[in-house]
Structure 1
Amino acid sequence: MGGLTPAPADAVANPTRWERMPVAVRIGILYIVARAVTTTFLLLAAALSSVGSRFGENADIGTLMIGWDAQWYWFAAEHGYPAQLPITDGGDVAENQWAFMPVYAFLAKGLGFLLGSWGVAAVAIALVAGYLACLVLYRIVRMRADDATATWATAFFAAAPLAALFQVGYAESLFLLWLFLALWMLQRRRYVWLYVLIPLMGFTRPGVLAFALLLGLYGIWRWATRRTEPLPVREIVHICALGLLAVVVGFSWQVLAAVVTGDPSAYLATELAWRRNWLGQSEGAFVPFDGFVQGAAFWFGSWGLGEITGYVVLAASVLGIAALLLFEPHVRRMGVEVRLWSAGYLLYLLAVFFPQSSIFRLLVPLSPLWGAVAMPRSALWRVSVLVACLAGQWWWIYNMYALGNTYWQIP
């Protein structure tokens, strides 16, 4: 998949004032402009919120920013995690706090003591983490491309269709910061940092098992290419130990939920409670990859296209994405770490997730691929992508916040 190669040097004889600015300042300016646009969109969404919306008439931007899952993080911070799982009238495990990891919730609670409000602290953490994630994303792309490409990739990320996550009470920004730092450290072979970043990832949002898969694939790749890039014993030990750590962290929340509640299936049953909102029926035990199979049948059946069509589209999508990660030249230039992460994370989603409107949010950890999108140097291409990002951002905010009144309008 390609070894570690230095980024091309920038041949700028007479750099502009913009190019002479420190990277942190340039990214900060882009980030502030992007957040101003998102704030405008959220204000419009609040003004358009009607009686049929989850937020009702006369909604304000503050209500939107701490809506949806932010309420669950707040509830976990205030009330902790239940020792007895709530049960629905039908006898199934109901939605509860065990689906939400503790780092973001309790970090916001701690900062909230200083700022006077959990909600203000939660949004502040998301904003700061989003900016820092932009800086690290720039560094990730910069290792494989020139300054202009890295800057455009960061602009796409800051203004992406799901960029509202940078200023609402969700854990995504913080998780992305840990993830990007982990990928950057892996690119640079700075393995020691991963012993801290992996637990932070694992207790901020689900997904660290995908990083465990990345490390396994990465170890295999390094072993296969050891003649072209030496693989010292020290690195073998680190890769194996970190892979084991990621697996342990990935399953530890399930174990903790089982110990506290006395129910070995507490965490998985909690996650399945959300799936019931779409299928409208009690679920059995969790079965890997069953969610996407059920989802293909559910959605294509609902659209009147037939379940078989859904299965065919699912299979074609899996093959198409695999081909993209293997053969698309711009993606290949992003390097093995980003490509293996993307493949591992998509396989993880395929194994554990039921596809619904939250799929857009759950695809955000693939954001390092913005580097591949930014590589074509055409100004028309780059401006068109940015416009498409902003259009997609308004579409998402309008549907999830201004409307937010049906089962497919849940962020």
Structure 2
Amino acid sequence: MADGSLIESGQVEHVARRRLPFALRVALVYLSARVVTTGFFAIAAALAGLGTRFGPHAGIGDLLMGWDAQWYWYVAVNGYPSVLPLTDSGQVAENQWAFLPVYPYLAQAIGAPFGSWAIGGIVISLVAGYLACLVLYRMLRMRLDRSAATWGVVFFAFAPLAAVFQIGYAESLFLLWLFLALWLVARRRYGWLYLLVPLMGFTRPGVLAFGLFLGLFAIHRWFTRRTEPFPVREIVHVVALGLWAVVVGFAWQVIAAAVTGRPDAYLATELAWRRNWLPDADGDFVPLHGFLQGVAFWFGSWGMGAVTGYIALGLLVVAIVALLLFEPHVKRLGPEIRLWSASYLVYLLAVFFPQSSIFRLLVPVSPLWGAAAVPRSTLWRVAVLILSVAGQWWWIVNMYAMGNTYWQIP
């Protein structure tokens, strides 16, 4: 063997000893979190009654396969329609085109030997969630000490939306692809991103935000090139990957249009969900319009008026910008996590109509949990953990299990 190889130098055993505690530590955290989440699901199933999505006598399995999980299963079994279904009023109805194909078909392949799509879906969510924890730890460890990185993973594993790690949703898988991509960018290793970008883009929406992130990252690297060189090779990779993310981000719309013969097939499908709140919602997609429309709707429903809502939204945007730019704990995470978080929040502001899914759609900014873990105070960390678990209880029981009886238009 060549001189200096890991085997000759005896470093293989050293690396194994070094990595095993890290993997086991994360595994213990993750398994403990899943036990807590399962307990919450059991209680929520018992509390679900008439008028809820699940009804009386629901079991844990019913909750694990609830809501969007049914759509992913339906995609795996029936594929995508070549003719868009219409409502009685002639508008496009809810249909499979709103759900991207990687997760449902992968779950179908994994679950086939067991004769159950649900098994495949839950296995993917559980395994991808654990692997995402491992990558998150590695990513945080680039900027934080071991204690803070571990606590960042704890907050992530026990987070208010941690139920997505064990339900039939695509979030866990998307988070794995995303964390791997951010970690690779932070390490300046770009090759695997050419594969990860389409995996992200066909798992769930959000790859356009990654394209924006790469654009902002390129600008940041250019203006800081005196402290960290930005060679031509890296410039080519970052620009090419940014363009690749944009192409992938629009590809599903093109595919839906080609299959259905209707250019607006995907956007019209997405608007079908918006009509659950605004029955007259239709027409062309306009960036920012959905969010502004939603703010006006909700603040009007709460009796505070649209103007109050716009002011509140403006203050929230200013607060988030200040947090990402100036808050010292957030700055410790490095430019990659901060630029990604800003890009994704801009993306949500541009395309999303705020409703009951907004909490789940914020999960991709989970690397920010590292900032909450920076303070060394045990009291602080325990308090954040307790609040996270309380938030998880609230989301599982009220938002998810109670469903139609809890989240209602005032």
- What's the counterpart of residue 159 of structure 1? 158
Q: Is this contact kept in 2: 1:255–1:264, CA < 8 A?
A: yes
- What's the counterpart of residue 298 of structure 1? 297
268 and 407 in structure 1: CA distance in 2 versus 1, 3 angstrom threshold: farther
- What's the counterpart of residue 383 of structure 1? 382
- What's the counterpart of residue 15 of structure 1? none
Which amino acid is the alignment partner of residue 363 of structure 2?
Answer: V
Which amino acid is the alignment partner of residue 361 of structure 1?
Answer: R
Equivalents in 1 of 2:388, 2:371: separation in Å? 15
Equivalents in 1 of 2:244, 2:97: separation in Å? 21
234 and 146 in structure 1: CA distance in 2 versus 1, 3 angstrom threshold: same
**Residue 324 in 1 paired to residue 323 in 2?**
yes
- What's the counterpart of residue 113 of structure 1? 112
- What's the counterpart of residue 7 of structure 2? none
| Structure 1 stretches of 4+ moved >4 Å | none
Q: Is this contact kept in 1: 2:65–2:167, CA < 8 A?
A: yes
Which amino acid is the alignment partner of residue 140 of structure 2?
Answer: V
- C-alpha deviations, 1:119-166, integer Å up to 9, x for none? 111011000000000000111111000000000000000000000000
Deviates more, 1:401-410 or 1:49-58: 401-410
Equivalents in 2 of 1:189, 1:180: separation in Å? 14
- What's the counterpart of residue 398 of structure 2? 399
Equivalents in 2 of 1:57, 1:401: separation in Å? 14
Equivalents in 1 of 2:189, 2:405: separation in Å? 46
Mapping 1:18-33, distance limit 5 Å: 22-33=21-32
Residue 406 of structure 1 and its aligned partner are, at CA, apart by: 4.2
Equivalents in 1 of 2:258, 2:213: separation in Å? 29
Which amino acid is the alignment partner of residue 48 of structure 1?
Answer: L
Q: Is this contact kept in 2: 1:210–1:344, CA < 8 A?
A: yes
Q: Is this contact kept in 2: 1:278–1:407, CA < 8 A?
A: no
Equivalents in 1 of 2:252, 2:283: separation in Å? 21
Deviates more, 1:46-55 or 1:398-407: 398-407
Structure 2: give runs of 5+ residues left out of the alignment.
1-17
- What's the counterpart of residue 66 of structure 1? 65
Residue 247 of structure 1 and its aligned partner are, at CA, apart by: 0.4
**Residue 49 in 1 paired to residue 48 in 2?**
yes
Which amino acid is the alignment partner of residue 88 of structure 1?
Answer: T
Q: Is this contact kept in 1: 2:51–2:405, CA < 8 A?
A: no
- C-alpha deviations, 1:365-392, integer Å up to 9, x for none? 0000000010000000000000001000
Deviates more, 1:307-316 or 1:396-405: 396-405
Mapping 1:68-217, distance limit 5 Å: 68-217=67-216
Structure 1: give runs of 5+ residues left out of the alignment.
1-18
- What's the counterpart of residue 241 of structure 1? 240
Residue 51 of structure 1 and its aligned partner are, at CA, apart by: 1.2
Q: Is this contact kept in 1: 2:333–2:371, CA < 8 A?
A: yes
Equivalents in 1 of 2:99, 2:20: separation in Å? 40
59 and 258 in structure 1: CA distance in 2 versus 1, 3 angstrom threshold: same
Equivalents in 2 of 1:318, 1:390: separation in Å? 26
- What's the counterpart of residue 336 of structure 2? 337
Which amino acid is the alignment partner of residue 399 of structure 2?
Answer: M
- C-alpha deviations, 1:176-200, integer Å up to 9, x for none? 0000000000000010010111010
Q: Is this contact kept in 1: 2:398–2:406, CA < 8 A?
A: no
Equivalents in 2 of 1:63, 1:401: separation in Å? 11
Q: Is this contact kept in 2: 1:141–1:371, CA < 8 A?
A: yes
Equivalents in 1 of 2:401, 2:212: separation in Å? 38
State the identity as a percent: 69
Residue 34 of structure 1 and its aligned partner are, at CA, apart by: 0.4
Residue 292 of structure 1 and its aligned partner are, at CA, apart by: 1.1
Which amino acid is the alignment partner of residue 360 of structure 1?
Answer: F
- What's the counterpart of residue 314 of structure 1? 313
Equivalents in 2 of 1:186, 1:47: separation in Å? 45
Q: Is this contact kept in 1: 2:177–2:199, CA < 8 A?
A: yes
- What's the counterpart of residue 226 of structure 1? 225
Equivalents in 2 of 1:218, 1:201: separation in Å? 18
TM-score (norm 1): 0.94
**Residue 266 in 1 paired to residue 265 in 2?**
yes
42 and 208 in structure 1: CA distance in 2 versus 1, 3 angstrom threshold: same
111 and 62 in structure 1: CA distance in 2 versus 1, 3 angstrom threshold: same
- C-alpha deviations, 1:300-359, integer Å up to 9, x for none? 000001111001001111111011100000111100000000000000000000001100
Equivalents in 2 of 1:52, 1:79: separation in Å? 28
- C-alpha deviations, 1:21-41, integer Å up to 9, x for none? 611100000100000000000
Residue 408 of structure 1 and its aligned partner are, at CA, apart by: 2.7
Please report the RMSD computed on the Cα atoms of aligned residues, expressed in angstroms: 1.4
Q: Is this contact kept in 2: 1:357–1:409, CA < 8 A?
A: no
Equivalents in 2 of 1:122, 1:218: separation in Å? 34
- What's the counterpart of residue 355 of structure 2? 356
- C-alpha deviations, 1:197-223, integer Å up to 9, x for none? 101000000000000000000011111
- What's the counterpart of residue 366 of structure 1? 365
TM-score (norm 2): 0.94
Residue 282 of structure 1 and its aligned partner are, at CA, apart by: 3.5
Which amino acid is the alignment partner of residue 92 of structure 1?
Answer: Q
